[in-house]
Structure 1
Amino acid sequence: MRSLKLLILIILLYSPVNANMKNAFDFKFNSIDSEEISLSKYKGKTILIVNVASKCGFTNQYKGLQTLWDEYKNKDFVVIGVSSNDFNQELQNKEDVKKFCEVNFGINFPMTDITNVKGENAHPFFKWANVTTGFKPKWNFYKILINKSGQIEDTFGSLTKPNSTKLISAIEKIL
């Protein structure tokens, strides 16, 4: 079994999906507004990427994510919400997600269209994160902290709230 996992890891490392992907800035997402979110736009900034969902027990973390965005956006910090239905807790379409986020939480940080974050159909960014660090979201509101060089600095599970000392300290350390 261990040999099989090692073989899969080696194949993923050299697969076309990841062959040219050296850091987070190599990836693009489709935005909730039908535009492109190119992470290269954020070179030199600290990025917090969070897989989010509207019908989750952790959905109230949107409020804390918006507070982080408001507090640090002028300090070269970006929050990106990656809407996902991989855990069957997202609304039906991106229009409903956008309206829900704006009306209930005043969200104005960048958000993606509904995106796969786990499994075979995961977005290439999440495949890269898994190959690079072994990280893969086990639930909604998992957080990936990207440093100014585009590397994964740290990861946090759903239980780590946006206003937690642990997360804020990690962000401030690399701003």
Structure 2
Amino acid sequence: MFACFGGKKIYTVDETTKNKITDMENNKTIYDFKVETITGETFDLSSLKGKKVLIVNTASKCGLTPQFEQLEALYQKYKDQNFVIIGFPTNDFMSQDPGSNEEIAEFCKLNYGVTFPMMAKIVVKGKEKHPLYQYLTEKSHNQIDDFDIEWNFQKFLINEDGTIDKVISPRVLPDAKEIIDWIEGK
């Protein structure tokens, strides 16, 4: 439906169409995002369609940093079973990851043998929050709930359809039964 005023078209959208447009805009998944790898390349999260994904914000100088070892073991055990871990370094909690992307990559490789995909350092809370973390933490984006990032090593368990299934506390270890059961579909 449209109307003409002074030679300009003014389009109006009926409520049903407006609701459909809003539903399409709000029906996002992680597949709608591209992120930067720790080496500076673009990583399209749509390449993960059909996989279970564990997204974790990491830090190199945190009391929970030893979780890198368990994350890597988990990745090695399940990477051939449609499962992937993606790490996002952040310096948001007491400046516990102040290094450059190169320094973080070297630290993870040398100290924990990390081979799962690590992304460039990002902001996971506050006004400068990365768009992916806006999706993960804000109901207005994920249509599920608002989730606070408690600390480094908070885990988001993403279903094969690209939506959030569970949010796991930073203190829950990567090899916890609830995470293993989720990966194995129990």
Give the structure-2-normalised TM-score: 0.81
Moved more, 89-98 or 53-62: 89-98
Aligned to 1:81: 87
CA displacement, residues 71-125 of structure 1 (integer Å, 9 cap, x when unaligned): 0000010000001111110032001000000000000110011101111111111
RMSD: 1.5
Alignment of 1:1-175 (within 5 A): 19=25, 22-87=28-93, 88-131=95-138, 132=142, 133-173=145-185
Equivalent-residue separation in structure 2 for 1:67 and 1:32 (angstroms): 20
8 Å contact kept, 1:44–1:76: yes
Q: C-alpha distance in 2, partners of 1:114/1:78?
A: 19
Residues 19-71 of structure 1: per-residue CA shift (max 9 Å, x gap): 46611111111110111121101001110000000000000000000011100
Deviations 1:113-141 (A, max 9, x none): 11011111111111112222211312000
**Identity within the alignment, %:** 40
C-alpha separation between the residues in 2 aligned to 1:121 and 1:168?
33
SS in structure 2 at match of 1:75: coil
User: Which ranges of structure 2 fall in alignment gaps of 5 or more residues?
Assistant: 1-24
Taking the aligned partners of 1:56 and 1:80, their CA distance within structure 2 comes to 18
Contact 2:137/2:149, CA 8 A, preserved across alignment: no
- For 1:34 and 1:167, how far apart are their aligned partners in 2? 30
Give the greater-gyration-radius structure (CA). 2
* More helix, by proportion: 1
Q: Note the residue ranges of structure 1 that are not aligned, 5 or more in a row.
A: 1-18
Question: How many residues in Structure 1 have an aligned counterpart in Structure 2?
Answer: 157
Q: Aligned partners of 1:134, 1:171: CA distance in 2, in Å?
A: 23
Regions of 4+ moved over 6 Å: none
Instruction: Provide the C-alpha distance between the structure 1 equivalents of 2:148 and 2:49, rounded to a whole number of angstroms.
Output: 23
TM-score if structure 1 supplies the norm length?
0.85
* Distance in 2 separating the partners of 1:164 and 1:124: 28
